[in-house]
């Protein structure tokens, strides 16, 4: 706890003035960010170590002891994120294409579905999926269990599909009308125009927001701990309950934060790189 | 004037064409025809409905009343065979509108291969010849982003020609170009006209209209104010409005 008081004033100052906003080569900047985090973590651990009573295992030893379990949980979060993203993307692409359909009812229905799921809190959608879907399916005479983690994955896929739908629609609409017009004048059919001319150009513009959405989804997978699934968050809480040590709270949650950071930060950086690259050619 | 070729029967015929966007009339009672092999220039102030006129001929914009026929095809027929019409009519736009994700050669080859389902090898030979014709040999593999405006516009011309059209429409094709690159494009259009291609140009290039056109139309507010052979039209315009416009631009 005392370590936190020492460190808090340091961090914003460092990020704000010296390292963060200044225009630096991106590799250098990201190295500095990671260095800052490493220092933060090291000082924290050392402080916690020093503060630990001699007759009890140190905070560091406990963190090392629980790390594999929590990391396993973290891998499960990643699995959920990849599955929800894949499902949400597949459904979202179809929904997004339906949004630009010339058939009024198709367009209106897909628009409504998109807006509904896009403007709903993710946690509420997750509960919605957990309680709406049955815990098992009866197909013929066979009972197929429908595990909670699968339901949670579907629940997270809902906001993803709505956001992907908007990314697809926006990407298609971002292509100048002249492209449609010239393709039409060359007698291409609407389907050919979409698949051969518009989408190949639009996909490039869709990738950065799609990756951004994935990073947000990955962080949001910790929500599934609320509905009782054994993810990294649940396991961390379990470890803390098992140890019953208040000085372990911050280090353990910080370790979990670091895992997510190590995974999501490179995605965010690469998204920016892509955005810049596509912006030049635009 | 093009004394080199003889004009044939009308291939594009507009009869009392009206176009309104809401309550706003863009074309009012426009009638004229273009003969096979003729080069017609339409001039006039911006916003006088010239671009809409070209788009209507290619069925990119539906008309409100009247009729348009291209090579015997009724453009405003609800059962219009768009493919048949668009095979006959090529259009080149002010902003080139090349497909940026395809090379110059692919831009030219795409429609014949995917729309006309022609043999790719034959299409490629024709496309290479067309690129040579617009003086871009060596640029086949270049992407539109790597070409200058004038080069892109010439690729766009080759792309339209690849469909073997009978009529070529040019919508202010030099308006976005600087004077030097303008010339390259105009030379290409002049060659086409000289070869006997039926050309309908909306243009601000008075020098080009005077030199190349067989007939010049002056439109304002969606109405044809005056028309005639270029010598007459530029030499002794009858309407006060035409004279005022020509005084301004010449």
Look at B191 and A25; give whichever has higher pLDDT.
B191
| Residue A276: its H or E element | helix A249-281
Q: How confident is the model at residue A15 (pLDDT cuts 50, 70, 90)?
A: very low
Mean of the per-residue pLDDT values of chain B: 92
The reported pLDDT for the residue numbered A36 is 82
- B159–chain A Cβ distance below 8 A for any pair: yes
Q: What is the mean pLDDT of residues A84-97?
A: 97
CA dist B91 and B172 (Å) reads: 11
Half-sphere exposure of B40 (CA within 13 A, CB side): 25
A47 in a domain, yes or no? no
- 3-state class of B70 per DSSP? strand
Strand ranges for chain A from DSSP E: 136-139, 142-145
Nearest neighbour of A201 by CB, restricted to B90, B100, B111: B100
| Contact flag A201-B82 (C-beta cutoff 8 Å) | no
Closest chain B C-alpha to A131 CA, distance in angstroms? 47
Nearest CB among A178, A187, A196 relative to B83 is that of: A187
Q: Residue B133 in contact with residue B163, Cβ under 8 Å?
A: no
Q: For residue B93, give the nearest of A182, A187, A201 by CB distance.
A: A182
CB neighbours (10 Å) of residue A262?
Answer: 12
Residues of A in contact with B98 (CB under 8 A): 182
Task: Number of helices (H) and strands (E) in chain B: give both, helices first.
Answer: 9, 10
Q: A-chain residues within 8 Å CB-CB of B60?
A: 181, 184-185
Q: Is residue A5 part of a domain?
A: no
B116 near B163, Cβ under 8 Å?
yes
Q: What is the CATH number of the domain that holds A80?
A: 1.10.3720.10
Closest partner residue to A185 among B86, B95, B110, by Cβ?
B86
Question: What values do phi and psi take at A134, rounded to 5?
Answer: -75, 160
Taking the C-alpha atoms of residue B100 and residue B114, their distance in angstroms, rounded to an integer, is 17
pLDDT at res. A19: 39
C-alpha dihedral (B104, B108, B111, B112), degrees to nearest 10:
-140
Is the pLDDT at A94 greater than 80, yes or no?
A: yes
B214-248 burial, b for 16+ CB within 10 Å, e for fewer?
A: bbbbbbbebbbbbbbebeebbeebeeebbeebeee
Provide, as residue numbers in chain A, all residues whose Cβ is less than 8 Å from the Cβ of B97: 176, 178-179, 181-182
**pLDDT (average), residues A110-122:** 96
Across the interface, of A176, A187, A200, the residue whose CB is closest to B115 is: A187
Q: Above 50 in pLDDT, residue A21? A: no
B60/A181 Cβ within 8 A: yes
Q: B125-173, pLDDT tens digit by residue?
A: 999 999 999 999 999 999 999 999 999 999 999 999 999 999 999 999 9
- Partners of A187 on chain B (C-beta within 8 Å) are 82-83, 86-87, 111, 115-116, 163
State the pLDDT at residue A4: 40
Instruction: Please give the average per-residue pLDDT across A108-126, as a whole number.
Output: 95
Contact between A161 and A92 under an 8 Å Cβ cutoff? The reply is yes
Q: Check residue A7 and give its pLDDT.
A: 38
Q: ipTM for the complex? A: 0.90
Paired tokens of B234: 């530029």
Phi-psi region of B22 (alpha: psi -120 to 50; beta: other; left: phi over 0): left
Closest by Cβ to B87, choosing from A187, A192, A200: A187
Can you give the pLDDT at residue A282? 42
On whether the CB atoms of residues B216 and B43 are closer than 8 A, the answer is yes
* Separation CA A66–CA A56 (nearest Å): 16
Contact criterion met (CB below 8 Å) for B106 and B93: no
| Dihedral over Cα of B158, B163, B169, B171: its sign | negative
Q: What's B137's DSSP letter? A: T
For residue B66, the model assigns a pLDDT of 93
A176: nearest CA partner in chain B: B97
* A178 part of contact set with chain B, CB < 8 Å: yes
C-alpha span between A85 and A156 (Å, rounded): 8
Of A14-28, A86-100, A118-132, B71-85, least confident by mean pLDDT is A14-28
């926006």: which residue's tokens? A170
Q: For residue A148, is pLDDT > 50?
A: yes
Q: Is residue A40 part of a domain?
A: no
Distance, in angstroms, between A93 CA and closest chain B CA?
21
> Across the interface, do B99 and A188 touch by the CB < 8 Å criterion?
no
Sheet architecture: strand order including B39-43:
B89-92, B167-171, B198-202, B39-43, B215-220, B223-228
B100 touches chain A (CB under 8 A): yes
Which of A178, A186, A192 is closest, CB to CB, to B163? Answer: A186
Number of domains composing chain A? 1
pLDDT at A38: 79
- Six-digit token pair at A233? 């968050």
Which structure tokens are listed for A29? 């900047």
Is B115 within 8 Å of A181 when comparing Cβ atoms? no
Look at A187 and B90 and tell me if their CB atoms are within 8 Å.
no
| Residue in chain A nearest B92 by alpha carbon | A182
Q: What is the pLDDT of residues A168-190, one digit of tens each?
A: 999 999 999 999 999 999 999 99
Q: Is B13 helix (H, G, I), strand (E, B) or coil?
A: strand
d(CA B139, CA B112): 20
* Domain assignment present for A172: yes
Contacts of B91 in chain A (CB under 8 A): 182, 185
A20 pLDDT exceeds 60? no
Q: How far is CA A158 from the centre of its chain?
A: 14
**B176 in A contact zone (CB under 8 Å):** no
Q: What does the alpha-carbon distance between residue A255 and residue A235 come to, in Å, rounded to a whole number?
A: 12
3-state secondary structure of A186: coil
Asked if pLDDT for residue A37 goes beyond 60, the answer is yes
Is A100 part of a structural domain of the chain?
yes
Hey, is the C-beta of A197 within 8 angstroms of any chain B C-beta? yes
- How far is A193 from chain B, CA to nearest CA, in Å? 11
Spatial distance between the Cα atoms of B48 and B215, rounded to a whole number of angstroms: 18
Please identify among residues 185-224 of chain B the ones whose CB lies closer than 8 Å to any CB of chain A: none
Helix (H, G, I), strand (E, B) or coil at B148: coil
**Domain enclosing residue A247, as ranges:** 52-281
> Does the pLDDT value for residue A86 go beyond 70?
yes
Residues of chain B with pLDDT under 70: 1-7
In this predicted model, what pLDDT tens digit does every residue of A237-262 receive, in sequence order?
999 999 988 889 999 999 999 999 99
pLDDT at B250: 77
Task: Flag whether pLDDT at A23 surpasses 90.
Answer: no
B80 interfacial to chain A (CB closer than 8 Å)? no
In chain B the beta strands, taken as DSSP E runs, fall at 10-21, 24-35, 39-43, 65-70, 73-74, 89-92, 167-171, 198-202, 215-220, 223-228
CATH code for the domain defined by B10-249: 3.40.50.300
Task: Report the distance separating Cα A169 and Cα A150, nearest Å.
Answer: 28
């Amino acid at each position: 706890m005392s370590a936190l008081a020492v460190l808090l004033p340091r961090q914003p100052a460092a990020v704000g003035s010296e390292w963060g906003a200044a225009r630096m080569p991106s590799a250098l900047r990201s190295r500095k960010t990671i260095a800052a985090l490493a220092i933060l973590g090291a000082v924290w651990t050392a402080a916690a170590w020093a503060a630990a009573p001699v007759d009890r295992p140190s905070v560091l030893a406990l963190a090392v002891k629980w790390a594999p379990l929590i990391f396993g949980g973290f891998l499960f979060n990643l699995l959920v994120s990849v599955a929800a993203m894949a499902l949400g993307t597949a459904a979202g692409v179809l929904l997004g294409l339906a949004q630009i359909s010339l058939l009024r009812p198709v367009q209106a229905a897909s628009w409504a579905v998109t807006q509904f799921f896009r403007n709903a809190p993710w946690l509420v959608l997750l509960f919605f999926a957990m309680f709406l879907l049955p815990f098992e399916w009866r197909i013929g005479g066979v009972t197929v269990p429908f595990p909670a983690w699968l339901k949670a994955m579907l629940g997270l896929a809902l906001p993803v599909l709505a956001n992907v739908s908007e990314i697809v629609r926006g990407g298609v609409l971002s292509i100048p009308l002249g492209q449609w017009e010239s393709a039409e004048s060359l007698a291409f059919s609407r389907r050919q125009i979409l698949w051969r001319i518009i989408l190949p150009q639009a996909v490039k513009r869709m990738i950065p927001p799609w990756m951004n959405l994935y990073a947000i989804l990955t962080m949001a997978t910790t929500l599934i701990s609320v509905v009782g699934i054994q993810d990294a968050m649940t396991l961390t809480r379990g470890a803390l309950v098992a140890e019953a040590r208040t000085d372990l709270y911050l280090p353990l949650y910080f370790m979990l934060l670091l895992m997510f950071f190590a995974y999501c930060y490179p995605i965010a950086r690469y998204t920016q790189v892509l955005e810049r690259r596509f912006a030049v050619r635009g | 004037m093009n004394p080199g070729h003889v004009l044939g029967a009308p291939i594009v015929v507009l009869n009392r064409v009206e176009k309104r966007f809401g309550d706003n009339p863009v074309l009012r009672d426009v009638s004229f025809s273009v003969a096979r092999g003729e080069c017609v220039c339409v001039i006039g102030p911006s916003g006088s409905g010239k671009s809409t006129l070209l788009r209507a001929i290619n069925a990119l914009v539906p008309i409100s009343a009247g009729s348009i026929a291209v090579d015997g095809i009724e453009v405003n027929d609800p059962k219009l065979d768009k493919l048949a019409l668009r095979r006959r009519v090529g259009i080149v736009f002010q902003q080139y509108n090349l497909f940026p994700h395809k090379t110059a050669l692919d831009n030219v080859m795409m429609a014949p291969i995917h729309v006309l389902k022609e043999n790719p090898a034959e299409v490629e030979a024709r496309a290479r010849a067309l690129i040579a014709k617009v003086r871009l040999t060596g640029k086949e593999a270049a992407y539109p982003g790597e070409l200058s405006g004038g080069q892109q516009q010439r690729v766009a011309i080759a792309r339209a020609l690849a469909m073997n059209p009978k009529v070529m429409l040019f919508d202010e094709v030099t308006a976005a170009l600087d004077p030097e690159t303008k010339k390259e494009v105009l030379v290409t259009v002049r060659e086409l006209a000289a070869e006997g291609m039926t050309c309908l140009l909306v243009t601000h290039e008075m020098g080009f209209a005077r030199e190349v056109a067989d007939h010049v139309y002056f439109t304002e507010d969606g109405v044809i104010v005056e028309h005639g052979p270029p010598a007459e039209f530029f030499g002794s315009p009858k309407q006060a409005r035409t004279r005022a416009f020509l005084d301004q631009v010449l």
